Each structure stands twice: as C-alpha cells, then as structure tokens.
Chains A and B, each alone.
Chain A
Amino acid sequence: EPEVTQTPSHQVTQMGQEVILRCVPISNHLYFYWYRQILGQKVEFLVSFYNNEISEKSEIFDDQFSVERPDGSNFTLKIRSTKLEDSAMYFCASRKQGADTEAFFGQGTRLTVV
C-alpha cells in the first residue's frame, strides 16, 4: 500500500539552527500539507501546498518557516532559526484531490530543540 514517508524520524538541533524536514508524498497526489503536534496537544495545521504554491497557511507559519517541492517527489519544511517552542512532532500529509478525499499522514519527525 502506498504511504507517505518522512525523514528523519527524530532530529535534535540547537536553538537558532536551521532544520529541514523531508517528506515523500504518495506519487499521484496533488495536495500536500504540514502539521505539527506539540506533546500532549492537538494536531495543528501549518501549511498546504497545491500546484507548486502555498494554498493556505496558519498564523503559526511565520517568516521562519518555508516549504518547497524541489523535484517531483520531495516536499520539505524548513525552519530557519529554531526556537525551543518549535519542539514538536511534525507530520506531512498528502491527498489525491481536495476536501472530499482522505488524507494520508506520514509517521512524523520528532523535532527537539535544545
């Protein structure tokens, strides 16, 4: 069964460093998303990406965040200068079409900022 894969599974970084989280969505999917989940809290929307551009972003997704689809398969989330409060599980998701299709989530990258 096709799946969304994320790497690395765990990343530890120093405060102020840049991190790039990587995702390979399912190959024929058109909509891509990043979410985050701080430990013990709910899943929060960060950004959606469609047709090679950002479709929507939340207030969390400020200038420190960026997304890219550098080739036909990868989808990345970059955090330019990490803060302690960026520590969370980051999930990538993809969908074949829009709101009436299921979203497939990756297993997540646990980001720890020290």
Chain B
Amino acid sequence: SQKIEQNSEALNIQEGKTATLTCNYTNYSPAYLQWYRQDPGRGPVFLLLIRENEKEKRKERLKVTFDTTLKQSLFHITASQPADSATYLCALDTGGFKTIFGAGTRLFVKA
C-alpha cells in the first residue's frame, strides 16, 4: 500500500534561517503532491500543490521540489519567523478521491 514518511518528527531552527522538511513516499507514483500546515486543534490548511512534471514551485517564502525518481519532495520556508511554527503535512492523492497524509513534521522557529 502507499506510504508517506516525513523524516523528522520535529525541527528546531532559529528565526531568519531556512527550514527544510522532507517527504518520501513508496509504492505509488502520484500525479500531484501537496503540503499543508496544521496548527494545534485546527484543520489542515493548504499551502502548495506540485505536479509530477514540475520540478519546483514557489509561493512567497515557500518553495517545494518534487523528485519523482527519488520519490521525494522537499519543502522549504525561507527567512523563517516564529509565526511559521506549526506542523507541516505532506499529502499525496491517489486519483482525486483519496488523499494520504504523512505524520507531519513539527517546526519550531525560535526568536
């Protein structure tokens, strides 16, 4: 069955640095991969979607890469701020009717 692994349970960085989160997947070749942000007690909030034919996607301070050969996506937050502290979820779609989420990486940005 499809599996998603987000390598770090938690990541601590200093304000202003770049945070890099990793997502690896197995047993599937998704056409799309998504990243979400989740704050405690709240629903996931969509951040970015990247297609299999896109190597990289950017949105403001966010950047996502998608390597279908390595079966890996990297999520970068540049110039990180304490307000970026949250759990970040990687998700892949299996045909539009089912989305599988990774366990998430908790990011702590220290001022």
Contacts and interface: CB of A to CB of B under 8 A. Distances in A.
Interface of A: 4, 31, 33, 35, 41-45, 48, 50, 55-56, 58, 89, 91, 93, 98-108
Given A31-B96, A107-B42, A42 B101 contact: yes
Interface residues of B, number: 24
Contact of B45 (A33, A43, A48, A105): A105
A93 B42 CA distance: 13
A77 B58 CA distance: 36
Contacts of B44: 43, 91, 103, 105
A25 to B, nearest CB: 13
A107 B97 contact: no
Contact of B89 (A31, A43, A50): A43
A102 B43 contact: no
B31 A99 contact: yes
Nearest to B31: A99
Contacts of B43: 4, 91, 93, 105-108
29 contacts: A33-B99, A41-B103, A42-B101, A42-B102, A42-B103, A43-B38, A43-B44, A43-B101, A44-B101, A45-B100, A45-B101, A48-B97, A50-B97, A91-B43, A93-B43, A98-B96, A99-B31, A99-B93, A99-B96, A100-B31, A100-B49, A100-B51, A101-B49, A102-B34, A105-B46, A106-B43, A107-B42, A107-B43, A108-B41
